[in-house]
Amino acid sequence: MNELGQKLINIQSGLKAPKGQKNDFGNYKYRSCEDILEAVKPHLKDNDCNLTISDEVVLIGERYYIKANATLYSDGSSVVVSAFAREALTKKG
């Protein structure tokens, strides 16, 4: 495993981001992006890493999605992960 991979393991194993937000309409708890970023900052500093997040709207078939990209940087190396989200077909609540 390379050094960036070990740093990523350190960050992931130490990160705790509880679901501190509540959606009263849908009656569920969630964590916001801001909650996660605040929780990860000390771990990034301890591991000498930087994290950037970007998003874009993409059309897949007949549906629009938000594609989010998270990139972890350290010592000239980087690792990128992507995820997709879209609105539900039916509304709950």
Chain segment 12-64, per-residue pLDDT in tens:
999 999 999 999 988 999 999 999 999 999 999 999 999 999 999 999 999 99
58, 37 in Cβ contact below 8 A? no
What's the rounded Cα separation, in Å, for the pair 26 and 91?
A: 9
Reduce the secondary structure of 41-60 to three states and give it as a string: HHHHHHCCCEEEEEEEEEEE
Residue 73 identity: Y
7, 47 in Cβ contact below 8 A? yes
Cα-flanking dihedrals φ and ψ of residue 6, to 5°? Answer: -65, -40
The predicted structure's pLDDT at residue 91? 73
Whether residue 85 is predicted with pLDDT greater than 70 in this model: the reply is yes
